[in-house]
A and B are shown apart, each in its own frame.
Chain A
């Protein structure tokens, strides 16, 4: 049973990819892919139930603990919503002759393989395999970002592949150095295994480990969207098809961050909590400042959503820097809630983009008057993203702030808070401009078909429910928090 649970999230999307590859992107294979996402979600839930007391392992290859279970849940939830929304998105594109059935097939295969690589990244028992999986996400998403084959999407794809591959290459350099240190700390078999490294962490050579820590932070930080390699993010998110943006923004960034959390456990034992805390705080606050300033001047709604993801990831980095049980648990809740909320908004944004053939904020006016259900769904998505109750981001942001204050990093809060307020005001202003008020004359009619509405509403309900009560998840969050916490 546990073997099946460990293999499921990797194998099921791969089977769906195979089905799309053989039969093409049609109704049956598309819904099979959605069901694949649901299976991953259910698998995550069962892993959560089974990893409460101990972790599961499959040889030196796969391993699951509470963090894995939570990340599998996030991957399953967001990929279900995104693939579900892809059906309508691709349907409209094919009807408008913007895409061909061959390219729809390629899209369907790559989206499923993308989910597989993310699942492998969170289930891998070995820092080397985690690296391989994260780099594989870059390869699989490259042609998804470039799906529309325009000049701008080509530009975005080139920058995305080059910047992420180079960033991730630095992380590999760090992994090699960690392996070197681990071998000299007496580890023999499985010197890169998660548990072996954690057990040997106290004996790691500090000089080599410091070098490795910096490289791993910068390298995986590139994939999370943290400075100095954040520049790919807005380009890729604005050019990718909206459901792919939802997947990248909602899960890919946090999957890369979960690897960083695992690295942090080892580094904190080897070098003390101070080293990565300083690094994460510097990178997190800088990223927050960049995101807030670019949100202020944003005129493109998909880029605005991308910079909002940058802002959220910066908050997650600051929470990880604090490193208390509360902060880590809040961070993980934040990741889940943000994944749901941001997917809803990207799916809605994709619908607006298809209707207007533009992503300029100025071109979209009076959405609520033009289509009440779409308008209110988007408005609810914005409320969730802005961290207002009843949605879960409200609870997680408050808990992150408390966690940061607990370890006497109030100065960091003092720097972060004005930036968060700026970002809040910028997003709220743009959201109001698009949704409220009268529609400009000549705006195209907005038809909100059930196929688009359903994933958005399901995502909003899940995000709202999570805000009212985390239910059985709160226990898993607590276990993950205490196993990853660097300070009590």
Chain B
């Protein structure tokens, strides 16, 4: 792969990752969140695939395809099952309105660039120059977890956070060791499956998945 196309492809994937995160904050329709999550998984998978093609690294290419299957198909599929049987598939009342949320995302992106300075300066390559965007995606994921009130949007927030971490791992180190990658992917899948089962039980017990119902336990 020519250097220029390599850099363009890498920047485009990281940019698409971030754009999806912004759109996820913007949209209220829960079905749209699942589609966006799937697109974000695709953007994430393009990072190791681009790196693998550039470095002629077959293992990295294989990891990229694994990431594609897991994050663009399987995980959004599990999230979609949370949605099934939902009477009102919309985020009703997030703690912040849309414009305030988008402003917060802008602020978080600036923050991400500020805190990730040492990451870029340690090894300034085209890949690490995109690393601040991965950190921004992590922060956006945490932001979604804190401000959203529906069980499914929290699961989406958790996966956005996780996508950001995976992107950072690929951009800085071309991926963590294989055994860790496999274990971490399995953990994420199991955690999301657990959350899916719990949200099903929640619908039976509480008649919905509004997290404001969760307020019986306090001191």
The answer to whether B183 and A158 touch across the interface, beta carbons within 8 angstroms, is no
User: Is A202 interfacial (CB-CB < 8 Å)?
Assistant: no
Q: For residue A142, which residues in chain B have a CB less than 8 angstroms away from its CB? A: 194, 198
Can you name the residue of chain B whose Cβ is closest to the Cβ of A155? Answer: B214
For residue B205, CB closer than 8 A to chain A, the reply is yes
Given contacts A136-B187, A180-B119, contact A151 B194 (CB under 8 A): no
Q: Of A154, A180, A238, which one neighbours B205 at CB under 8 angstroms? A: A154
Minimum C-beta distance from B30 to chain A (A):
17
B145 at interface, CB cutoff 8 A: yes
Q: Give the segment of B11-19, B51-59, B78-86, B157-165 that binds chain A.
A: B157-165
Distance, CA A131 to CA B194, complexed state (A): 18
Cβ-defined partner of A173 (8 Å) among B118, B168, B180, B206: B168
B residues 120-153 touching A (CB-CB < 8 Å): 121-123, 138, 142, 145, 151
Q: Which residues of B contact A161 (CB under 8 A)?
A: 191, 194-195, 198
Across the two chains, which residue of chain B brings its CB closest to A209?
Answer: B118
Interface string of B97-127 (1 = CB under 8 A from A): 0000000000000000001111101110000
- Say which one of A14-22, A164-172, A381-389 lies at the interface with B: A164-172
Interface size class of A (residues with CB under 8 A): 35 or more
Q: Is the beta-carbon distance between B183 and A128 smaller than 8 angstroms? A: yes
Check B180 against A129 for contact (C-beta < 8 Å). Answer: yes
Nearest chain B CB to A168 CB, angstrom units: 9
A63 in contact (CB, < 8 A): no
Minimum CB distance partner of A163 in chain B:
B145
Query: Does B118 lie within 8 Å of A154, measured CB to CB?
Result: no
Q: Is B184 an interface position by the 8 A CB rule?
A: yes
Report the bound CA distance from A436 to B205 in whole Å: 39
Contacting A at CB under 8 A, from B14-41, are none
Closest to B118 in A: A207
Contact present for B184 and A132 (CB under 8 Å): yes
Binary contact readout A397-426 vs B (1 if CB under 8 angstroms, 0 otherwise): 000000000000000000000000000000
Tell me if A135 and B187 are in contact (CB < 8 A).
yes
Q: What string of 1s and 0s marks CB contacts (under 8 Å) between A297-312 and chain B?
A: 1100001000000000
Give complex CA distance A156, B219 in Å.
13
Q: Is the interface of B mostly helix, strand, loop or mixed?
A: helix
User: A163 → chain B, closest Cβ, in Å?
Assistant: 9
A138 in contact with B217 given A176-B168, A211-B119 (CB within 8 Å): no
**Residue B63 at the chain A interface, CB threshold 8 Å:** no
Task: Please tell me which stretch of B66-74, B87-95, B169-177 contacts chain A, meaning at least 4 of its Cβ atoms lie within 8 angstroms of it.
Answer: B169-177
Q: A142-B198, A151-B206, A162-B154 are in contact. Are A234 and B219 (CB under 8 A)?
A: yes
What is the bound-complex CA distance between A41 and B127, given in angstroms? Answer: 47
Closest to A150 in B: B205
A residues 165-216 with Cβ under 8 Å of B? 165-166, 169, 172-173, 175-177, 179-181, 183-184, 191-192, 205, 207-208, 210-211
| A169 adjacent to B177 (CB under 8 Å) | no
When the two chains form their complex, are residues A135 and B117 in contact, meaning their CB atoms are under 8 A apart? no
Q: Is the CB of A207 within 8 A of B122?
A: yes
**Contact in complex: A139, B187 (CB < 8 Å):** yes
Tell me, in angstroms, the Cα distance from A191 to B177 when the chains sit together. Answer: 9
Q: A245 in the interface, Cβ–Cβ < 8 Å?
A: no
Known: A128-B179, A151-B205, A176-B169. A205 touches B122 (CB 8 A): yes
**A184 near B194: Cβ-Cβ < 8 Å:** no
The residues of B that contact A162 with a CB separation of less than 8 Å are: 145, 154, 158, 195
Interface size for B (C-beta < 8 A) is 44
- Nearest B residue to A164 by beta-carbon distance? B191
Does A294 sit at the interface, judged by CB under 8 A?
Answer: yes
Q: Is A43 positioned at the interface, with any CB of B under 8 Å from its CB?
A: no
Q: What distance in Å separates the Cβ of A465 from its nearest Cβ neighbour in chain B?
A: 36
Let me know if A184 and B191 touch, CB within 8 A: no
B75 to chain A, nearest CB (A): 14
A173/B173 contact (C-beta < 8 A), A208-B118, A294-B219 known = no
Q: Is A146 an interface residue (CB 8 A)?
A: yes
Contact A176 B191 (CB under 8 A): no
Cβ of B217 and Cβ of A235 under 8 Å apart?
yes
Give the shortest distance, in Å, between B45 (CB) and chain A (any CB): 17
Decide yes or no whether A262 CB sits under 8 A from chain B: no
Identify which of A207, A239, A294 contacts B217 (C-beta below 8 A): A239
A191 to B172, CA, bound (A): 14
**Contact of A184 with B180 at beta-carbon distance under 8 Å, contacts A135-B191, A179-B173, A298-B219 already known:** no
> Is B198 a contact of A157 with CB atoms below 8 Å?
yes
Q: Is B96 an interface residue (CB 8 A)?
A: no
CA–CA, A239 and B191, complex, Å: 20
Using A129-B183, A154-B201, A294-B219 as known contacts, say yes or no to A165 and B191 having CB atoms under 8 A apart.
Answer: yes
Pair A211/B177 contact, Cβ less than 8 Å: no
Q: Is there a chain B Cβ closer than 8 Å to A159's Cβ? A: yes
- 5 chain-A/chain-B pairs, Cβ below 8 angstroms: A128-B177, A154-B202, A173-B165, A176-B165, A177-B119
Q: 16 other contacts beyond A126-B179, A158-B151, A175-B176, with CB at 8 A cut-off?
A: A61-B179, A126-B177, A128-B177, A132-B187, A139-B190, A142-B194, A143-B194, A151-B206, A161-B191, A162-B158, A169-B165, A176-B173, A180-B119, A208-B122, A211-B115, A211-B116
Residues of B within 8 A of A (CB): 115-119, 121-123, 138, 142, 145, 151, 154, 158, 161-162, 165, 168-169, 172-173, 176-177, 179-180, 183-184, 186-187, 190-191, 194-195, 198, 201-202, 205-206, 211, 214-217, 219
Counting from the closest, the 5 A-B pairs by CB-CB distance are: A207-B118, A128-B180, A132-B183, A135-B187, A180-B172
